[in-house]
Amino acid sequence: MNYTYIVTCRDGSLYTGWTNDLEKRIKAHNEGKGAKYTKSRRPVVLTYYEEYETREMAMKREYEIKHLSRQKKMELINLKKESGKDQ
């Protein structure tokens, strides 16, 4: 399974990425081995994710989410929580 995810950083900013091992990737972010962006903003908390069959689909969705405004990203996060599927 492949995942597109959003983490909330210590400073309140949001980071979007994709991975095929969600648990391992969040751990890497929190160990400072994830993305350059999150390294100085630890700890991060998984806020949102979507599952995809292929990495191409996950990467495409990552690209789409990265181009959303912060407000739209927060709407995605809140919709998932309201639907009872929060992480």
Assign residue 65 the CATH number of its domain.
Answer: 3.40.1440.10
d(CA 33, CA 19): 14
> How much is the mean pLDDT over the chain?
95
Q: Does residue 43 form part of some domain?
A: yes
Give the pLDDT of residue 86.
Answer: 46
Q: Does residue 87 form part of some domain?
A: no
Q: Is the pLDDT of residue 75 over 70?
A: yes
Q: How many CB atoms lie within 10 A of CB 62?
A: 21
d(CA 36, CA 40): 8
Q: What's the number of domains the chain is made of?
A: 1
Q: Does residue 38 form part of some domain?
A: yes
Range of the domain at 35: 2-82
Does the predicted TM-score (pTM) go above 0.85? yes
Give the pLDDT of residue 87.
Answer: 47
Kindly write down the DSSP assignment for every residue of 16-54, as one continuous string: EEEES-HHHHHHHHHTT-S-HHHHTT---EEEEEEEESS
Q: Is the pLDDT of residue 21 over 70?
A: yes
pLDDT, tens digit (0-9, with 9 covering 90-100), for 33-62: 989 999 999 999 999 999 999 999 999 999
